[in-house]
Amino acid sequence: MLYPNLDASEIFAERESQRSSLHTRYLNEQLVRVLKTIGYDVGFKRGEGQYLFDRDDSRYLDLLSGFGVFAIGRNHPVLRQALKSVLDADLPNLVQMDVSTLAGVLAERLLERVPYMDKVFFANSGTECVEAAIKFARGATGRTGVVYCDHAYHGLSYGSLSLTDDNNFRGGFGPLLPDCSVVPFNDLAALERALSSRQVAAFIVEPVQGKGVNIPSDEFLPGAAALCRRYGTLMVADEIQSGMGRTGKFLAVEHWNVEPDMVLLSKSLSGGHVPVGAVLTRKAIFDKIFSRMDRAVVHGSTFAKNDLAMAAGIATLEVMKAEKLIENAAARGAQLHAALSDLIPKYEMLKEVRGKGLMLGVEFGPPKSLKLKAAWSLLETANKGLFCQLITVPLFKDHKILTQVAGHASHTIKLLPSLTINDDDCKWIVSSFESVIAASHQVPGAIWSLGKTLVDNAVRKSA
Ligand X SMILES: Cc1ncc(COP(=O)(O)O)c(C=O)c1O
Binding-site ranges for ligand X (CB under 6 A): 67, 125-127, 130, 153-155, 206, 210, 238, 240-241, 266
Q: How far is the CB of 124 from ligand X (least distance, A)?
A: 8
Based on CB atoms, which residue is closest to ligand X, 73 or 126?
126
DSSP E strands in 221-377: the ranges are 234-238, 262-265, 277-281, 350-356, 359-364
Task: Quote the crossing angle between the two packed helices 423-440 and 446-462, to the nearest 10°.
Answer: 80
Based on CB atoms, which residue is closest to ligand X, 44 or 67?
67
Q: How far is the CB of 125 from ligand X (least distance, A)?
A: 4
Cα Rg, the chain, nearest whole Å: 23
Q: How far is the CB of 27 from ligand X (least distance, A)?
A: 17
* CB of 135 closer than 8 Å to CB of 290: no
The DSSP line for 311-322 is HHHHHHHHHHHH
Q: How far is the CB of 391 from ligand X (least distance, A)?
A: 22
Per-residue b/e over 173-205, b at no fewer than 16 CB within 10 Å? eeeeeeebeebebbbbebbbebbeeebbbbbbb
Longest dimension (CA), the chain: 73
Based on CB atoms, which residue is closest to ligand X, 53 or 67?
67
Q: How far is the CB of 157 from ligand X (least distance, A)?
A: 7
Q: How far is the CB of 70 from ligand X (least distance, A)?
A: 14
Q: How far is the CB of 127 from ligand X (least distance, A)?
A: 3
The DSSP line for 350-391 is EEEEEEETTEEEEEE---SSHHHHHHHHHHHHHSTTTHHHHH
Based on CB atoms, which residue is closest to ligand X, 130 or 132?
130
* CB of 393 closer than 8 Å to CB of 39: yes
Based on CB atoms, which residue is closest to ligand X, 260 or 394?
260
Based on CB atoms, which residue is closest to ligand X, 62 or 238?
238
CA–CA separation, 271 and 76 (whole Å): 8
Residue 146, φ and ψ in degrees, nearest 5? -135, 130
Based on CB atoms, which residue is closest to ligand X, 148 or 387?
148
Return the residue nearest ligand X (CB atom). Answer: 126
